[in-house]
Structure 1
Amino acid sequence: MEALKLPHIEQYLTACVQCGYCISVCEAHRQTPWESDTPRGKIYYLNQINVAGPLDKPLGRVASLNPYFVDAMYKCTGCGNCEAVCHANIPLVELWETVRTWMVKNGVGPLSAHKGMGEKVGKVHNPYGGDQAHRGDWWPAEVPKYDQPDVIFFAGCTGSFRQQQIPQTGVRVLNRAGVKMNILGADEWCCSSPLLRTGDTTHSLECAERIVEKADGMGAKDMVMTCSGCYKTISTDFGTYYAKVGQNVYHFTQYVNNLIKTRKLPLLQPFNHKVTYHDPCHLGRHMGVYEEPREILKAIKGIEFVEMDRNRANSRCCGAGGGYKSQFNNFAVRIAADRIRDAEKTGAEILVTACPFCVTNLSQGAKAINSKIKVMDIGEILLQITAPAEEPKEAPAATEPAKERIQA
């Protein structure tokens, strides 16, 4: 058997001191508690592949890309909490994606659900198999579109075909601030994030090229999105596979927070509820956007804001990322249920987040344990509190009773 040649990751493998700090924060390991499923276990096995020599095979100790190792590599949400606690400062998110890409090139990945997504992106440019001609049908009829917009609103595949209310609330809120917007419509292809996270780079170039060229041709200054995965991919990965877009790329929370601070988006109504916030992994740990969502919530009158014990860089993953939910849905929902329990401990009525994947999985986690806590996207709250107060209806003017006509 020919020895496997690893990608250029040796410096990361040798940097790992096998301390095990990553184990306690790994949500996937909590669901399948085998050492091989831990970040430490995966690195140990990769090291065995790396140091394999000619005597290993006759001695029966050949480390190979066997199904157990492949399964372990995909039992990972890509959340990056292992990286946040790593004393050796190993860029573990990058490492896992590099290894998955290597596995795909060696014909042992991705897994079945991921292959289905890749095939659909190749055929119809979204992982749900939706009709691209109707991709922009979610746009609210009352919000105008501009031929020369200031902002391109990027809904993403989940917002376009599954969680349409999230981009709908987003554009309605921005419209109230006077933001001139448009969308790419059928030219908004998948950003390829679901494929990249599972090691499939097949469509990354064509997806990035399509989006960049169509967006740049629209002449907008900014691009805004409510999906944290799209935000990370367009901000960081496009430059690797093609080129960055010509717009300033913002997550919805960043853009709205600036609108509030510059008094372009009035917060007109109170929101009298106890609220906690869940950090999406792609927005928080991966991109460092922690404070903007919190600043928005704290600016809203009436909100009692409370933090969960695990927040910001140490936030518990919701379980939906890295292709984990698509392949291991039951485990993903159980992770989400654990996050719901974190929120319940604060006494909050509402768990707010800023990503359609988080909204989907956390809602399913709440349902699984019959939790009374409500899961909301931050845009849903903003839509309520930026609405003008309804004017009380005037009572009809009292009229004098008609006098009986006197017969002559």
Structure 2
Amino acid sequence: MNVRRSAAVLAAVAVFGMAAAPAAFAATGDHRLGQSRAPQDASPSPSLPSGLYGKTDPKFDGVFRQSYALLAQHTAGVEPAPKAVDWLTGQQCASGGFAAYREDADQPCDGKTPVDSNSTAAAVQALAALAKRDKSLAAMVDRSVDWLKSVQNKDGGWGYNPGLPSDANSTGIAVGALAAAGQNPAGVRKGGKSAYDALPKLAMDCGKGDGAFGLADAKSGKLSPNADATAAGVLGSLGKGLVVEPAKKAASGAPECAKPDSASQAASNGTAYLLKTLGETDDHLMSSMPGADDKPDQGNTADSVLALAAAGQKEQARKSAEWLAENSADWAEQSGPAAYAQLILAAHAAGLDPRDFGGADLVKQLNAQGPAPQTASASPSAADAGEEKDDDGGVSIWWIIGVGMVAGIGIGFLYSGNRKKQP
């Protein structure tokens, strides 16, 4: 699943309404989901919930940033604070879907509640991980998975809100949720088609788009190569979620681009596109959203580390993660919990230590963004095994922004007003 500049987001909201708003506030700084996330001192909510991570208004990204934070903590062997988990579970609608944020979670969801696939899929991945310790969360995961299945499009993919056309970001994160919940994405079908049928249709040809997954133009609706959509598309096509284990065996060179007539080929093409793009810009990506400043995009780079690690591109994943270790401190500080979580997940995928990431302890920095966790174990595997020890720390997302911008025109990733009744 970073965040674009507030100005760009507000402009998008002015043109498209609420469609793009959430993405903009998800992670501000340089990216994703991209190149500008909402700064931590921007328009804070008068009274933030005590269990919520981050200091900015959660209206557009509360569930998303909380899910990323809890998932990253679990991956780093940290047991989150109960009230942090309770805040997230309290946001779930009876249908199983999640909206970006519900200020009054005591009120039942209705047809006007803007539930969306991205917030729901992010929450599923966090809760499925935590359910390894707390079995009571499994029923919530099942309800959310059922909701995702109910809003799957007939082409096999997902749009940001129910009824919107499928896009690579939404489909990719939905696949990650299904996989995290123990489902086989290939077996989750609507109209006889799965995500693996939809994703190749969202990939571009080798000639016009260099094999990238595309982001739709606001005016024409035509796809243009987009690095963040590509990272999401590669992960989805490989059936992977946000937690990617380091590649045990390095792939032999860059894959060759060919007609994207299958999910596996679309993933190979997207991998080649990311390798080429990173090779041209000193192992990091530049802003990929229309109108964004032309500068390094930490969130998008972190997303690409996950995709490359999943594709077996161990060397480039590590190089890009090392670039992040040297160039992401200011961005993460400005962006907040989602950014720290993205970096932890990228470090994990690249085989680096998130507690010594360019000299920074990302886990401690994330913990400081919200309620202090219960305990921390020596490793994620120890956490799953129930081995614990005391932790003295308290604690993108381009993913969010790139898609939010497109949601306004019906093909976006994140926050868009829900014009449909909640299933």
**Structure of greater relative contact order (alpha carbons < 8 Å, 6+ residues apart):** 2
Larger-gyration structure (1/2) = 1
TM-score by length of 2: 0.31
TM-score by length of 1: 0.32
